[in-house]
Structure 1
């Protein structure tokens, strides 16, 4: 298992004309892995049926949504952590900061130790 990467030239952000350009490695993303594919793969080494696996995935998604909407961190042990995040415009005084100041709502993701270890051990293939 290895990660494909390509070579790209990038300029300096915020500098007119790109400033000094440098060469970087950039991951080449492959085909997406769908829920159907994940379910099929899990079913091969599990005693669970396809319906059971899909049910667990849907229930997990629903519970993650509820917990994030409560402002909670969802820690899936060695898999990852998900936590709510917001971005807001700056105000001159604390009293002026309201929900109207919030520009963007999102979810941050932190990979767990097993995922990070797998990524570090995957190796690389220049294309």
Structure 2
């Protein structure tokens, strides 16, 4: 599978004025696969109706939000897994680490075996 990339220039993070600038490859994404598009593609390769597929996908989002909010990992088989990660301020002692030390939260996706294989087999093409 070929994936195109653009060349971008970036400075050094945290250095005033950007420091020494270098050039890097950056994946060029071409369009989106929306929930409607995903539903249509699944509908074509299965016997399940589009309405049923949409119902399951929307319910899946609700269940995942609740589960992640309860501190659970969400494992999606071959797709991969999701978990909550946090970033915090460093404190001098363990006793000083409190809820106010947390700066932000994010969802971390770990790809499953098939997605890892796809990433390992990508062909990179300059755009």
- Distance in 2 (CA, whole Å) between partners of 1:92 and 1:122 is 44
Q: Which residue of 1 aligns with 2:75?
A: 75
- Distance in 2 (CA, whole Å) between partners of 1:31 and 1:52 is 25
Q: Does 7-16 or 66-75 show the bigger shift?
A: 7-16
- Distance in 2 (CA, whole Å) between partners of 1:26 and 1:2 is 14
- Distance in 2 (CA, whole Å) between partners of 1:87 and 1:21 is 27
Secondary structure (helix, strand or coil) at the match of 1:26 reads strand
Q: Which residue of 2 aligns with 1:30?
A: 30
Shift of residue 74 of structure 1? 1.1
Shift of residue 40 of structure 1? 0.3
- Distance in 2 (CA, whole Å) between partners of 1:106 and 1:41 is 29
| CA pair 34-16 structure 1, distance change in 2 beyond 3 A | same
The 5-angstrom pairing of residues 101-120 of structure 1 reads 101-120=101-120
1:50-87 Cα offsets, whole Å, 9 max, x none, are 11101111121111112111211111122111011111
The 5-angstrom pairing of residues 1-127 of structure 1 reads 1-127=1-127
Secondary structure (helix, strand or coil) at the match of 1:78 reads helix
**How does the TM-score come out when normalised to structure 1?**
0.87
- Distance in 1 (CA, whole Å) between partners of 2:39 and 2:63 is 19
Stretches of structure 2 lacking an aligned partner (at least 5 in a row): none
Secondary structure (helix, strand or coil) at the match of 1:61 reads helix
- Distance in 2 (CA, whole Å) between partners of 1:91 and 1:9 is 35
What's the Cα RMSD here?
1.7
Number of aligned pairs? 127
Q: Does 92-101 or 60-69 show the bigger shift?
A: 92-101
Stretches of structure 1 lacking an aligned partner (at least 5 in a row): none
**How does the TM-score come out when normalised to structure 2?**
0.87
